[in-house]
């Protein structure tokens, strides 16, 4: 049985020491999140995830979901009871607005719970995960009346939510959406069409499912400018809030997938289903982007969360498995061979993963704090800066951290050798489950294009310039500090390369747009490395401050930080070289000649 222990200590370190949430206590909801309250929530949630959610991971993989003849879907054994407990523990609405049934706590707490759920059982986590995204889109874009009808029930978990973008002919290019909406005399719409690959689209966990659906109102403009967003509940809701008639949406099939078997990935058929417009006609993408941005942060979290679980299992195996002697001489001469953790190549894989996971957790938590600042900070300047940072770094977090998270799961499998390839050990499931994170919520290739094509130049490059200035300030403040000079130097080096790559893009992308497309993946990875280097600087600073405590946690943090500087940061050179190579060699071969 695979193991998973919630890394509560690392979460506390980030919240209390690195991000210092207590310094933000004047923000709404932050005053209630005292260190004691945070610790109590983390510890209680950790126990629940280790004891209840994690043991269902393999059950979900083996059983999958079942669709019945009437179109209903049952989730794997134990999911329903676990979901009920999850809701009773209030874990789905920690950061939701208290006006609509939430607890109003900092978003970072909800993120930490999401991480636990995702590490313990990615398929299970996608039910409350999608719901939280739908909740936010309704909260941000729907009318007050709609919010009152749907949000409290979604907060307490008795209703869940989904997002319905994809259709058979339309994945990345949402301008191709065909689902149509016909206005009715009472102000509602009749929605018809087929959506595919809808996560958590039909299931037995909740009384009702609130589908957010993109469709085209009859006569709307072609392409992306003619798309509107609708709420389509599985059961219509009566005026008194009780459930009414079954709506015209049904599950036409479940996908057979490589992983996340415990999550119901549905074909949803809309047959003149009653839908309610959210926001303005033809402005559906704006509202959906709210959901997608925060969902993308959640997917970036899935990348390192899966890596954490896989890494923990690889580590346990590496300490236990005896093979060969250390090349520098036997380390455990009384045993028939040394445990494989003595071998540098095994350590390479473990340390690569450890350094990635800890940097990724820090960056994602930092971004989550920006999310709160962007909504809750009292002054416009802070709100705008935080919003800029979120926009800039969301594609980086999504793509960099799922690319690397997937690699870390593969490395964890490699640490187990043949056992990693055999299902019994559970590593195969992590590799299979995490793989989707590179694809959904916009493929990683599209995230890279979003970064170079939209986010960099938005508002005249305001976000990236402000972020670069922030890094410069950190370098200036810490280059002379004992123990932090190497971090400042490392950050300065990678940031200089990122700036060079940015200038190269500025000079070469307009004249030949293929240059932007060809280098975007490496540019995004260079961006991710730079952001992680900054995080490692911040973490090292706090670890150094505690160096005298004799606590092995801080010693390990500094040794992992050193590994990041020496063994991961040099990847920046390769990314810069590939950026500067441009598109010529990539586009030279004619399609017919492949």
Ligand X SMILES: Cc1cc2nc3c(=O)[nH]c(=O)nc-3n(C[C@H](O)[C@H](O)[C@H](O)COP(=O)(O)OP(=O)(O)OC[C@H]3O[C@@H](n4cnc5c(N)ncnc54)[C@H](O)[C@@H]3O)c2cc1C
Q: State the residues that interact with ligand X by CB under 6 A.
A: 163-166, 171-172, 197-199, 257, 265, 436, 439-440, 442-443, 445-446, 449
Taking the C-alpha atoms of residue 255 and residue 200, their distance in angstroms, rounded to an integer, is 12
Shortest separation between residue 191's beta carbon and ligand X, angstroms: 14
Q: How far apart are the first and last CA of the chain?
A: 45
Shortest separation between residue 174's beta carbon and ligand X, angstroms: 9
Which DSSP state fits 75? P
User: Which residue's CB is nearer to ligand X, number 260 or number 533?
Assistant: 260
User: Coil, strand, or helix at residue 484?
Assistant: coil
User: Which residue's CB is nearer to ligand X, number 273 or number 315?
Assistant: 273
Residue nearest to ligand X (CB): 171
User: Which residue's CB is nearer to ligand X, number 109 or number 305?
Assistant: 305
Q: How far is CA 501 from CA 403, 522, 531, 536, 574, in A?
A: 20, 9, 15, 22, 12
User: Which residue's CB is nearer to ligand X, number 165 or number 533?
Assistant: 165
Burial class (CB in 10 A: 0-12, 13-18, 19+), 320: exposed
Q: How far is CA 341 from CA 348, 353, 416, 521, in A?
A: 10, 14, 11, 33
Return the ∠ at Cα 462 (arms to 460 and 464), rounded to 5°: 110
3-state secondary structure 419-446: HHHCHHHCHHHHHHHHHHHHCCCCCHHH
Q: Which residues are catalytic?
A: 441
Our measurement of the distance from residue 274's CA atom to the centroid of its chain's CA atoms, rounded to an integer in Å, reads 32
Shortest separation between residue 448's beta carbon and ligand X, angstroms: 9
Q: Tell me which residue of 192, 190, 166 sits closest to 179, measured CA to CA.
A: 192
Does residue 428 contact residue 422 with C-beta atoms inside 8 Å? yes
User: Which residue's CB is nearer to ligand X, number 384 or number 443?
Assistant: 443
Shortest separation between residue 130's beta carbon and ligand X, angstroms: 6
Tokens of 523: 């540019």
User: Which residue's CB is nearer to ligand X, number 200 or number 353?
Assistant: 200
DSSP secondary structure string for all residues of 172-188: S-GGG---EEEE-TTS-
Taking the C-alpha atoms of residue 316 and residue 128, their distance in angstroms, rounded to an integer, is 30
Q: In 10 A of CB 145, how many CB atoms?
A: 9
Taking the C-alpha atoms of residue 311 and residue 4, their distance in angstroms, rounded to an integer, is 9
User: Which residue's CB is nearer to ligand X, number 549 or number 584?
Assistant: 584
User: Coil, strand, or helix at residue 74?
Assistant: strand
- Bridge partners of residue 254, in order along the sequence: 266
**Would you state the torsion angle of the CA atoms of residues 412, 415, 417, 420, taken in this order, to the nearest 10 degrees?**
-30
User: Which residue's CB is nearer to ligand X, number 172 or number 459?
Assistant: 172
Shortest separation between residue 364's beta carbon and ligand X, angstroms: 20
């Amino acid at each position: 049985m695979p193991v998973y222990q919630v890394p509560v200590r690392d979460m506390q370190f980030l919240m209390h020491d690195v991000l210092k949430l207590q310094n933000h206590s004047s923000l709404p909801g932050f005053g209630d999140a005292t260190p004691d309250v945070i610790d109590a929530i983390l510890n209680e949630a950790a126990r629940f995830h280790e004891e209840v959610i994690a043991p269902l991971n393999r059950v979900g993989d083996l059983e999958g979901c079942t669709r019945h003849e009437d179109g209903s879907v049952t989730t794997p054994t134990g999911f329903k009871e676990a979901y009920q407990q999850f809701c009773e523990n209030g874990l789905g609405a920690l950061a939701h607005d208290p006006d609509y049934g939430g607890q109003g706590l900092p978003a970072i707490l909800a993120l930490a719970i999401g991480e636990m759920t995702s590490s313990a059982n990615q398929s299970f986590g996608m039910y409350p995960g999608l719901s939280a995204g739908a909740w936010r889109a309704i909260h941000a874009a729907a009318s007050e009346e709609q919010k009152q009808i749907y949000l409290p029930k979604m907060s307490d978990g008795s209703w869940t939510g989904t997002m319905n973008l994809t259709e058979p002919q339309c994945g990345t290019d949402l301008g191709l959406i065909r689902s149509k909406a016909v206005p009715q005399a009472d102000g509602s719409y009749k929605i018809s069409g087929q959506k595919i690959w809808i996560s958590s689209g039909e299931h037995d966990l909740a009384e009702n499912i609130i589908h957010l659906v993109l469709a085209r109102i009859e006569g709307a403009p072609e392409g992306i400018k003619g798309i509107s967003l609708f709420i389509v509940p599985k059961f219509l809701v009566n005026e008194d809030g009780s459930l009414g008639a079954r709506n015209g949406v049904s599950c036409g099939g479940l996908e057979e997938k490589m992983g996340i078997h415990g999550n119901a990935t549905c074909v949803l058929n809309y047959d003149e289903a009653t839908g309610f417009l959210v926001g303005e006609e033809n402005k559906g993408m704006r509202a959906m982007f709210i959901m997608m941005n925060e969902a993308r942060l959640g997917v970036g979290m899935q990348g390192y969360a899966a890596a954490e679980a896989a890494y923990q299992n690889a580590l346990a195996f590496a300490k236990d498995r005896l093979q060969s002697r250390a090349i520098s001489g036997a380390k455990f001469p009384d045993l028939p061979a040394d445990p494989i953790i003595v071998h540098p190549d095994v350590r390479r894989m473990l340390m690569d993963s450890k350094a990635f996971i800890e940097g990724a957790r820090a960056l994602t938590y930092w971004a989550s704090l920006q999310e709160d600042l962007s909504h809750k900070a009292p002054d416009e300047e802070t709100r705008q800066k935080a919003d800029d940072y979120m926009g800039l770094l969301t594609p980086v977090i999504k793509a960099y951290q799922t690319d690397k998270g997937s690699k870390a799961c593969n490395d964890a499998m490699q640490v187990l050798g043949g056992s990693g390839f055999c299902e019994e050990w559970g590593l195969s499931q992590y590799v299979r489950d995490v793989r989707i994170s590179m694809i959904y919520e916009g493929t990683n290739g599209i995230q890279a294009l979003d970064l170079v094509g939209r986010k960099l130049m938005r508002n005249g490059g305001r976000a990236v310039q402000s972020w670069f200035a922030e890094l410069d300030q950190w370098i200036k403040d810490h280059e002379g500090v004992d123990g932090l000079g190497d971090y400042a130097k490392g950050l300065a080096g990678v940031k200089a390369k990122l700036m060079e790559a940015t200038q190269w893009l500025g000079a070469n992308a307009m004249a030949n747009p293929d240059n932007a497309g060809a280098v975007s993946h490496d540019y995004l990875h260079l961006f991710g490395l730079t952001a992680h280097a900054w995080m490692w600087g911040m973490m090292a600073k706090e670890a150094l401050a505690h160096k005298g405590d004799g606590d092995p946690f801080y010693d390990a943090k500094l040794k992992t930080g050193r590994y990041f500087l020496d063994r991961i940061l040099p990847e920046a050179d390769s990314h810069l070289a590939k950026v500067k190579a441009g598109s010529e060699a990539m586009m030279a071969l004619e399609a017919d000649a492949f």
